[in-house]
Amino acid sequence: QVVESGGGSVQAGKSLRLSCKYSGLRFDDYAMGWIRQAPGQPREGVACVDYSGETVYYADSVQGRFTISRDNAKNMLYLQMNDLRPEDTANYYCEGYPGTPEAWPVVVVVPEFVLSGQGTQVTVSS
- What are 95-104's pLDDT values in tens digits? 999 999 999 9
Mean local confidence (pLDDT), 111-124: 95
Q: What is the mean pLDDT of residues 79-83?
A: 98
Task: Quote the pLDDT of residue 26.
Answer: 65
Q: Which positions ≥6 away from 95 have C-beta within 8 Å?
A: 2, 32, 33, 35, 108, 113, 115, 116, 117
Phi-psi region at 31: left, alpha or beta (left = phi > 0; alpha = psi -120 to 50): beta
pLDDT attached to residue 1: 87
pLDDT (average), residues 99-126: 95
Q: What is the pLDDT of residues 20-71, one digit of tens each?
A: 999 876 676 899 999 999 999 999 999 999 999 999 999 999 999 999 999 9
pLDDT for residue 24:
79
Cα–Cα distance measured from residue 75 to residue 34, given in angstroms and rounded to the nearest whole number: 15
Averaged pLDDT score across all residues of the chain: 95
